[in-house]
C-alpha cells in the first residue's frame, strides 16, 4: 500500500510536498524525511538547497526517480536545488554504502554519511513513514566528532593542496569558511552548527563575516575574489593541520 501524504507536509515547502505526492505512487518508497537547512529553520530561498532522504524496502528503481525529479526541477522545484537520497532499508545502517541520490539536476550514487545522519537525528522532519527518530540509527557526539574530522581531513585537506581552486572557484572559498567553522565546533563540542550560525565562528575579518551574512540572507554582496580566497585557504590550511590525528 502506498504511503499517504497531506497537501501540506511538515516542511511546508511546495517542492517537498510535490515530491511526496509523486513518491506516494511508488509502493517501494516507505518514508520521506527532510534534513539540512529546511529542517533546522536555516533555509534561505534561492540560497539553500533542499536536502531530503527517502527510505525504500528494496533497491530503488532509478528510472522513475529520474523522471520524477526531472519533472519537478522543470516545474515547482525550479531553482530550489531539490535533492534526495534513496536509501534501501537493508543498507540503511551502513554509512559507507552508496545510494541513488538526485542532486543538482542529476542522479549519482553516494553514501549517506554521518553528517546528514546527525542532521536527521537532531532536526529531521518526517513527511511520511516511520518517525525519523526511529527510522535511522542514532548518532552519538563521538560519531559527529569523528565524521567532522574525517571531512576536514579528507576533501578539505585535498583542496588545501590546490590553492588555485580557491581563486578559480569562489564558491569553494565561501563554503570553506563556514565548513571550517562547523568542523572545529563539531570536533570540540560534538554538535553541528547551522551554516548561518557558523558564519559568526568563521576565522575571518569582521568585514568578510558581514558580507557572508549578507550573502546567506540572499543579498547580492560581492566578495573580493583574491582576498577571500587567501583568507579562506589559510583558514582551511590551519584547520586541517590542527584536526589531523
pLDDT in tens, 132-154: 999 988 889 999 999 999 999 99
The pLDDT of residue 11 is 58
The CA R_g of the chain, rounded to the nearest whole Å, is 18
The pLDDT of residue 218 is 87
pLDDT at 50 over 90: yes
Torsions phi, psi for 5 (to 5 deg): -130, 155
pLDDT at 5 over 60: no
Distances (CA, A) of 232 to 150, 168, 176, 185, 235: 19, 13, 6, 17, 5
pLDDT at 8 over 70: no
- 135, 140, 141, 143: CA torsion to nearest 10: -90
Q: What is the DSSP string of the chain?
A: -PPP--SS-TT--HHHHHHHHHHTT-TTEEEEEE-HHHHTT---TTTS-EEEEEEESSS--HHHHHHHHHHHHTTTTTTS-EEEEEEEGGGTT-TTSEEEEEETTEEEEEE--HHHHHHHHHH-EEEESS-HHHHS----HHHHHHHHHHHIIIIIHHHHT-HHHHHH-HHHHHHHHHHHHHHHHHHHHS-PPPHHHHHHT-SS-HHHHHHHHHHHTT------HHHHHHHHHHHHHHHHHHH--
pLDDT at 47 over 90: no
The pLDDT of residue 6 is 38
pTM: 0.85
Give the integer Cα–Cα distance in Å for 54 and 102. Answer: 11
Amino acid at each position: 500500500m502506498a504511503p499517504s501524504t497531506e497537501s501540506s507536509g511538515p516542511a511546508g515547502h511546495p517542492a517537498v510536498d510535490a515530491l511526496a505526492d509523486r513518491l506516494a505512487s511508488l509502493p517501494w518508497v516507505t518514508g520521506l524525511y527532510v534534513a539540512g537547512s529546511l529542517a533546522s529553520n536555516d533555509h534561505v530561498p534561492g540560497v539553500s538547497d533542499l536536502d531530503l532522504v527517502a527510505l525504500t524496502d528494496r533497491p530503488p528503481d532509478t528510472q522513475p526517480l529520474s523522471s520524477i525529479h526531472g519533472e519537478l526541477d522543470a516545474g515547482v522545484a525550479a531553482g530550489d536545488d531539490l535533492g534526495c537520497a534513496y536509501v534501501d532499508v537493508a543498507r540503511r545502517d551502513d554509512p559507507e554504502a552508496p545510494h541513488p541520490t538526485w542532486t543538482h539536476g542529476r542522479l549519482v550514487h553516494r553514501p549517506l554519511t554521518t553528517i546528514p545522519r546527525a542532521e536527521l537525528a537532531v532536526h529531521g522532519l518526517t513527511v511520511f513513514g516511520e518517525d525519523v527518530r526511529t527510522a535511522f540509527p542514532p548518532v552519538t557526539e563521538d560519531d559527529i566528532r569523528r565524521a567532522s574530522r574525517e571531512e576536514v581531513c579528507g576533501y578539505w585537506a585535498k583542496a588545501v593542496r590546490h590553492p588555485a581552486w580557491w581563486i578559480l572557484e569562489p564558491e569553494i572559498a565561501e563554503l570553506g569558511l563556514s565548513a571550517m567553522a562547523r568542523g572545529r565546533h563539531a570536533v570540540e563540542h560534538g554538535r553541528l552548527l547551522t551554516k548561518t550560525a557558523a558564519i559568526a565562528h568563521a576565522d575571518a575579518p569582521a568585514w568578510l563575516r558581514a558580507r557572508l551574512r549578507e550573502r546567506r540572507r540572499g543579498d547580492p554582496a560581492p566578495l573580493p575574489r583574491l582576498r577571500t580566497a587567501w583568507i579562506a585557504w589559510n583558514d582551511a590550511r590551519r584547520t586541517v593541520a590542527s584536526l589531523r590525528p
